[in-house]
Each structure stands twice: as C-alpha cells, then as structure tokens.
Structure 1
Amino acid sequence: MMTEEYKLVDAPVQQPLSMHPKKFALWLFIVTVVMIFAAFTSAHIVRQADGDWLQYDIPQMLWVTSGIILASSITMQWAYMAAKKDKFEQVKLALSITTVLGIVFLFGQFQAWGQLVDQGVFFVGNPAGSFMYVFTGIHGAHLVSGVIYLLYMLVSAFKYKVHSKNMLNMEMSTTYWHFLGGLWIYLFIFLLLNH
C-alpha cells in the first residue's frame, strides 16, 4: 500500500473585504439617493415627451450656485488632506469655508426660486416648473443634511478630534459632500439640456 505525502504550502491568507458599518450605511444611502434622482430624471424625460411643456429660462443664479458647489468641493478636499497631515488650523479653516459655501449655495438656490417666480414658473400649473422645484428642493434638503454634518465636523475640528488617527467621520463627510456636489452638477447639466 502506497502512502502519499501532502505538503502544506504556506499560502498568504486573504482577508475578506470589509467596510466600516457607518461607511457601508453612507454608501447605501448614496445609492438610494442616486436611484431617487434617476427615477425623477427619467420621469422628467417621459413627461416632457407628452407635450404642453412650459419653456423657461434656467435662472442665472444656478450658474453661480454651481460654481459655489464646485469651490466647496475643493475646500472640502483641502480639509481632508490637511486632516491626514494633522494640520489642525488648516482643517478648521477649510471646514469653515466649506460650511459657509454650503450655506451660500442654499441661499443661492432660494434666490433661483425667486427668479423662477419672476418668470411665472411656479410649483403648480405646469410639470416643467414642478420638476424644477422638486429637483432643486430635494437636492437642497440633502445639502442641508450635508451642512449639518459639516457643522458637526467643524465642532470636532475645534476640539482637535479630527486628525490622522481619527479619519472615519472626515472620510465620510468628504465623500458625502463630493457626492452632493457631483449630484448637483449632474442635475444642472440635465436641466440645461432638458428644460
């Protein structure tokens, strides 16, 4: 009877892919928001094809707010990079600027609604106007949550709780803020092409 010898080969042990539960929840939320806006934009296209669609000019303020949201994404990235290098004063400054820009963006969106009203575009009366208010309103509501998160991060930064050894919330707030900026740019381009 022959016996076979088996040698165990030292193979590297592969670690399972893992993600912090809070990050997973954030990404799940982001996917949900993407699906909501995908449904809204597809509903917009379908409804627009039905006719009786009000033609209106995109409020000029939306150009300004688009620039503001892009600038805020840059300052948010600056805050993130400064936190990784433990540059506490830069973190506080960059988060402060980002928070102010977020609030200015919201104020600008409200001004854009005023420009729509000046054109005779209201929430009720024509689906074109309704979609514009829904897109900007729901995005604005999400941006309010982003500003609240920024305020939390700002308080944490002033307590020196944002640093290279404690980056989870900084990573999450940066991801969420970039997402909100990217979502707005998508919506703005969509509205430019389909108003």
Structure 2
Amino acid sequence: MEPKKFLLWLFIVTIVMLFAAMTSAYLVRSTDGDWLKFDLPNRFLVSTGVIILSSVTMQWAFGAAKNNNRTMLLVALTGTIILGLIFLKLQVDGWGQLVDQKVFLGGRYSNPAGSFVYILSGLHGFHLITGLIYLLIVLYSSIRTQAGSLNLLQIEMCTTYWHFLDLLWIYLFVFLQVNN
C-alpha cells in the first residue's frame, strides 16, 4: 500500500476509535437518572443533507480529475468547499437552537446530554475543518495543474477523507436521533 494512503487510513481508524469511545461514553452516561431529553435541532437534519450533497460534489471532482477535466475539477472542488462551509454554519445555527431550548455546554445550567451533543458535533466540526484545509490544498494544487489524471493520489486521499467525514456525521446524527 502506498505509504500516504496507509497513514490516511491509520488516521481514519484513530478518529473512528475516538468517536466509538465518545458514543460509548454517551450510552453509559445516559443510564443515570439526570439525563435530559430534548429534540435535536432541525438544522442538524438540514446539515446532513448538505454534507451528503458535498460528498456527491467531491466524487464529481474525483471523476473530473480521472478524466483530466480541469475545469470541472475546479468547479466541483469549489462546490465541495462551499457546501462544507454551509455545513459548518448550519452546525453553529444548530447550537443556537440548542441554546434556545435551554440546552447548554457546561456551566451551572448544563446537562451531560446537551454537553455530549455539543462535544460530538464540535469534534466532528473540527475534523471537517481539517477536511476543508485539505480541500483548499487540493484546489490550490489543481489550479497549479498538479492534480489530474497524472497525479490522482492527492485527490483520491482527499475524496476518501471527505466521504469518511460524511459517513461519520450520518452515524452521529442517527446515533443522536435514536439515543436522545
């Protein structure tokens, strides 16, 4: 296996382990009697659709790179970046909806249930920001014509990471919907 791909997969495995531990802790802690029940913000559902759409544009970018279609590659990468930023904005709006429901992160009026939602979505948001940085690097490379069918490794790795982030959010969203 190509060493850079191996490192990416090792990184993905560590993220999976982190979120597995966090969701396990969520389940264990939720058995205590003080667990707050509340509705997830509807912005989280909308953001789920946005991140799924961003995976479509990322796959489109990968296909354009394979076909050496630089214009479509740039359009698709830019679209993926824009959708990633919209996802993050919707997440922040979702946190605002949580505050409106009197669900807080830490402090005197907080509850572990709400804190877990903030931490899980925030931790995913952090990883999405790293994905956006990676996308910007690939976009810069593509503008400089270094990414294309002759150099697919960078865009392939970026596509893999972006799809992983998409699947991770879907898992978190479903997990929180079912267990909240």
User: What residue in structure 1 maps to residue 146 of structure 2?
Assistant: 161
Deviations 1:143-182 (A, max 9, x none): 0000000111111111111111101100100000000000
* Amino acid across the alignment from 1:175: T
37, 47, 55: which one aligns with 1:73: 55
Structure ID, larger Rg: 1
User: What residue in structure 2 maps to residue 184 of structure 1?
Assistant: 169
- Measured after TM superposition, the shift of residue 139 of structure 1 is 0.2
Q: Percent identity?
A: 56
- In terms of fraction of residues, the more helix-rich structure is 2
- Measured after TM superposition, the shift of residue 87 of structure 1 is 0.6
109, 117, 122: which one aligns with 1:137: 122
82, 85, 90: which one aligns with 2:64: 82
* Within-5 A mapping of 1:45-124: 45-124=27-106
Q: Does 1:150 align with 2:135?
A: yes
* Amino acid across the alignment from 2:18: I
Between the two proteins, the alignment pairs up a number of residues equal to: 177
| Aligned mates of 1:51, 1:27 — CA distance in 2 | 39
| Aligned mates of 2:10, 2:32 — CA distance in 1 | 34
Q: Which runs of 5+ in 2 are unaligned?
A: none
| Aligned mates of 1:157, 1:61 — CA distance in 2 | 32
| Aligned mates of 2:13, 2:123 — CA distance in 1 | 15
Structure 1 segments (4+ residues) deviating >6 Å: none
* Amino acid across the alignment from 1:114: G
Secondary structure of 1:49 counterpart: coil
Deviations 1:96-117 (A, max 9, x none): 0000000110111011000000
6, 21, 25: which one aligns with 1:43: 25
* Amino acid across the alignment from 1:188: F
TM-score, normalised to structure 1, is: 0.90
| Aligned mates of 1:174, 1:194 — CA distance in 2 | 30
CA RMSD of aligned residues (A): 0.6
